[in-house]
Amino acid sequence: MLKNLFLRAPSAEDQLSRGLALLDDGVVEPALDILVPLAKAGHARAQAEVAIVLLTVPGVPQDDAAAVKWLIASAMQGDPIGERMLGFVYLDGRGVPVDAVTARDLLKKAAAKGDALAAEQLAELLGDPDSPHVDLSAARTYAEEAAKLGRPDAMLRLGRMLYDGTGGDADPEGAIWWWTRAAEAGSADALVLLGVARALGRGVSRAPVAGCALVCKGRDAGSALAGTYLRGLKGGLSAVQQAEAEARRVEPLAELLP
């Protein structure tokens, strides 16, 4: 009896952690049994997580309207995941009319709080030259934020912008640094772009065979970019050099870059 008096009821954060762990394990219904009461009690992160389930989890009836209500409640409390996901639904028009301006503003709020996915989406949105919201300088800033937070796609995008001088001064060496980080994180496209730069000697010392080997490595990793570049690179190599490049594609990344 005395033991029960001193037992601490699980805090809201403890319950949230338990619900998220169940979601990670694919145990959806028990997770919702925890998260929905928290959301109804006004917990902003729980509201966002319930909305994500309603929008994205297979096997759960999709309910865009209900998800939007939960996201609005979460975003109004300043939760960055709620703000980011509400921005996404405004971009996609799920349960709300498409509204890129509102989406952009919500994503900016989330990114300002360190949300890497929001920063990555802003880099894409503001970096689209066909978008009425294009702002290449801001896109580069957001790409850098997301890259620093560990997003490989943002590393790839930032590298492109640095290499081409998009949104600021060109910095080929910086591009090589970020593409290397992206490749280390598993980006096959980064391997291809590193290979092209290595073959041309831009931002890194010139080595056509090593560059071709990097593109071959990217091809083997599934990059859709590899085919076009590989034809051009191999066209500038002798048959012996082509064979050498194919053989060297299995070398570690560090051995193909200076």
3-state secondary structure 9-38: CCCHHHHHHHHHHHHHCCCHHHHHHHHHHH
Model confidence, pTM: 0.89
CA distance 210 to 80: 43
Whether 107 contacts 118, CB under 8 Å: yes
CA distance 225 to 151: 20
Q: Note down pLDDT in tens along the chain; length 258 residues.
A: 445 545 566 788 899 999 999 999 989 999 999 999 999 999 999 999 999 999 999 888 889 999 999 999 999 999 999 999 999 999 999 999 999 999 999 999 999 999 999 999 999 999 999 888 899 999 999 999 999 999 999 999 999 999 999 999 999 999 999 999 999 999 999 999 999 999 999 999 999 999 999 999 999 999 999 998 999 999 999 999 999 999 999 999 999 998
Residue recorded with tokens 């300088």? 137
List strand residue ranges (DSSP E) for the chain, in order.
none
